[in-house]
Chain A
Amino acid sequence: MNILYDERVDGALPKVDKQALLTELRRQLPDLDILHSAEDLKPYECDGLSAYRTTPMLVVLPRQIEQVETLLKLCNRLKVPVVARGAGTGLSGGALPLEQGILLVMARFNRIREIDPAGRCARVQPGVRNLAISQAAAPHDLYYAPDPSSQIACSIGGNVAENAGGVHCLKYGLTVHNLLAVEIVTIEGERMTLGSDALDSPGFDLLALFTGSEGMLGVVVEVTVKLLPKPQVAKVLLASFASVEAAGRAVGDIIAEGIIPGGLEMMDNLAIRAAEDFIHAGYPVDAEAILLCELDGVEADVHADCDRVRAVLERAGASEVRLARDEAERVRFWAGRKNAFPAVGRLSPDYYCMDGTIPRRELPGVLQRIGELSGEFDLRVANVFHAGDGNMHPLILFDANQPGELERAEELGGKILELCVAVGGSITGEHGVGREKINQMCSQFNSDELTLFHAVKAAFDPERLLNPGKNIPTLHRCAEFGAMHIHAGQLPFPELERF
């Protein structure tokens, strides 16, 4: 089934007259920058999931929140669908435009309004890049903890919309754990603050509900993030293993020791070789798996924990354990991991990145099954894994120019996600559902659960004008996709409890 918006199964979209809309926009918002010609619209046809492209009807680039309010009110009145977009680095097609809709680009809201060291928070506009917040806070020895691999480019508004993660989530949490408040504008043009500068707020926790809601409930126009004191030191251990199973067990052993590492990452042999070839990080290319374990905090504790972790890794059968000798080597160890996606990209014309999560204990079985599926579909799969928090990133290698390969990659990806659900996990840990995983939502949630999601949507956007077709599939799509049959006693893994 085509991933692009399909009115037959995703619901009819209102018919919009482009010229009339353009005229009305210019009348009501004379200062608003609007792109409408084919060559200007082209660069906005996809986000970080470039396999799927749709040219938007119009692109608007506001500079003032009042323009966003007026625009959304107008869209609500004229029934025009709106897709919000930040830096466009998302990997699930969450900002994939609609032919019948406006693409609302928030990138020009790029000002850091306030760094408040005593209040340990930063108030920023949604287009501010993730890394720019930590850079601005650095003179105060503070930083913003969530660090998705795209942090150099991705914007905080998109991080909120996707509840972005990163490699330090196990210890420091996701975006939702590092926010104090967001200001949003609803489709009715109503501006509201969710959360507050205090640690909690009265009423329902709408801040939690909006975080990760993928632009379906409102548009983020300001974000107040928590800042943390920078850890005094960070040390990284690199351990090599002769099997992914042994590396997986070592992860559980570290946690059983009562240690929560700042980062705990695993890569399999194909990913190790790709990264080493690209970055020359000093990875052991013969290892079947490596673990990168970062320990951070106060110096004395970090030294003691390094010794403990080294002992655990050796007991768990590591063939080699290396402590990064200095900061340069530590950065190099991480560079290999953070560039694993583009590194794997060099092995193959195209790759497709999965984002499933599983209970960690299921890792050996899941990796084995992925290996078998890789053989069945005749496509190579490299595995990069946030081992500490059970978030897998299998990378499926394919060549879109070979007839049928993209479809095979998609089908293999779908099988991997269904496998994650079957062992008690989720189809997405941090990349979001977007458009990409819309069909797999039918595997993770039954029709009653999806119905409740639609009810939440209806409380904020009853006409479904904000980002239609993303995040939550229609029951019609699920029926058509054929996934509903798995709820009739024909689960792909019937012996397993479904979560």
Chain B
Amino acid sequence: MSVETLATGDADIGERLLAEVQQALASNTPLAIRGGNSKAFLGRPVQGTALSTAEHRGIVNYDPTELVISVRSGTPLVELCAALEAAGQMLPFEPPAFGAAATVGGTVLAGLSGPRRPWAGSARDYVLGARVITGLGKHLRFGGEVMKNVAGYDLSRLMAGSFGCLGLVTEVSLKVLPKPRLCTSLRLQMDTRSALARLSEWGQQPIPISAASHDGQALHLRLEGGEGSVKAACDRLGGDPLDAGYWERLREHRLDFFADERPLWRLSLPNNVGELALPGEQLIDWAGAQRWLKSDADEAHIRAIVAEAGGHATCYSAGHTDTPFQPLAAPLMRYHRQLKAQLDPQGIFNPGRMYSEV
């Protein structure tokens, strides 16, 4: 380990967590798992005994030249990002924290990715390994710290975005990358339709775009790469300079758009979908592949329009609907239930957090 990051508060409580899970199994008690509790608004409420990973924290291994970091799941995301920053590296998927208490475990389990996602990949794409306390009461390790590993089933990537429904993740190993040499942000005045058309065209060209958002008035772009490519793209695209803080405000939902009282929906769409006619206000991210919607529209109406376009919708406002995630087709749900029953036969891990059936 070439970078020592022994922040105060580091602790390995793996044995205690294992004992808690074994106790829950013995007494058949469902567990409501939480890290920093910053994503409680996402998904369905869980009825269960609270189990916190927040004390299980610390960087276990970080060697920047190996491009891998392993951390206990309760490690604050800000602590991880600070360690990477000190070595000139980053989490390429640029996850939102939604609060200072956010943990690395919660980030991976919620499977959230920020503005760079369409070009750099998702949280799941950067998972290399995980330690998991299973529904059979064992503390196991899957994947590892190497870039390529196809031995056995890919259970560590399966954990990403599973909202804790398949096991208690105690440690994750993530691939990291060097920060780009240069980063510039631009604002180009144009309407939504033109912006989506231009983004579709640019997407087919080697332009170093690393974020693209449209707020109804202007297209916001971020360019990242070497000096030469970023300068050439700036010259070509024109526009006005943009404060780079925009991307953090977008990622953390701190733009004015998010202050609207109406329910917030996340729409995930294929590349190259035009404007979507939905009641309410929209904010475009991911070059159009992720759109935020503030709307009082009926859930079924939103889902139908988004599904028609080849995407799915998630409700980000707690309590607004009992089905915040897009319902699954019957056969797919059946295999979800079977997988849950195999990995968590007593149904103790976050039952109902994603769907009432799992």
Contacts and interface: CB of A to CB of B under 8 A. Distances in A.
A202 B204 contact: no
Interface in A153-187: 162-163, 165, 169-170, 173-174, 176-177, 186
B228 A199 contact: no
B42 interface: no
Contacts of A472: 152-153
A459 B338 contact: yes
Contacts of B67: 255
A208 B160 contact: yes
A255 B121 contact: no
B205 interface: yes
Given A229-B204, A299-B228, A165 B271 contact: no
B158 A459 contact: no
Nearest to A171: B177
B187 interface: no
Interface in A447-499: 448-453, 455-460, 471-472, 499
A425 interface: yes
- Most chain B Cβ neighbours within 10 Å, of A192, A201, A203: A203
Given A190-B331, A299-B228, A357 B147 contact: yes
Contacts of B88: 258
Contacts of B117: 199
Interface stretch (B30-38, B46-54, B122-130): B122-130
Interface stretch (A112-120, A279-287, A332-340): A112-120
A85 to B, nearest CB: 18
B226 interface: yes
A361 B312 contact: no
A195 B335 CA distance: 14
Given A298-B225, A448-B138, A204 B269 contact: no
A211 B200 CA distance: 28
Contacts of B208: 298
B179 interface: yes
B272 interface: yes
Contacts of A441: 151-152
Interface in B285-343: 286, 289-290, 310-312, 314, 325-329, 331-333, 335-336, 338-339, 341-343
A198 B331 contact: no
Contact of A428 (B151, B158, B160, B268): B151
A200 B150 contact: no
Contacts of B82: none
B206 interface: yes
A301 B148 contact: no
Interface string A132-147: 0000000011100000
Contact of B151 (A204, A358, A386, A444): A444
A205 B151 contact: no
A202 B314 contact: yes
A480 to B, nearest CB: 19
A196 B289 CA distance: 12
Given A258-B181, A298-B228, A304-B228, A427 B270 contact: no
11 contacts: A163-B154, A170-B147, A199-B118, A200-B111, A200-B122, A204-B166, A255-B178, A256-B65, A301-B229, A452-B140, A459-B339
Interface of A: 116-121, 140-142, 162-163, 165, 169-170, 173-174, 176-177, 186, 190-192, 196-206, 208-209, 211-213, 216-217, 229-232, 252-253, 255-256, 258-260, 297-301, 303-305, 357-361, 386, 388-391, 424-433, 437, 441, 444-446, 448-453, 455-460, 471-472, 499
Q: Which 5 A-B pairs have the closest CB atoms?
A: A300-B228, A301-B226, A429-B148, A298-B229, A258-B178
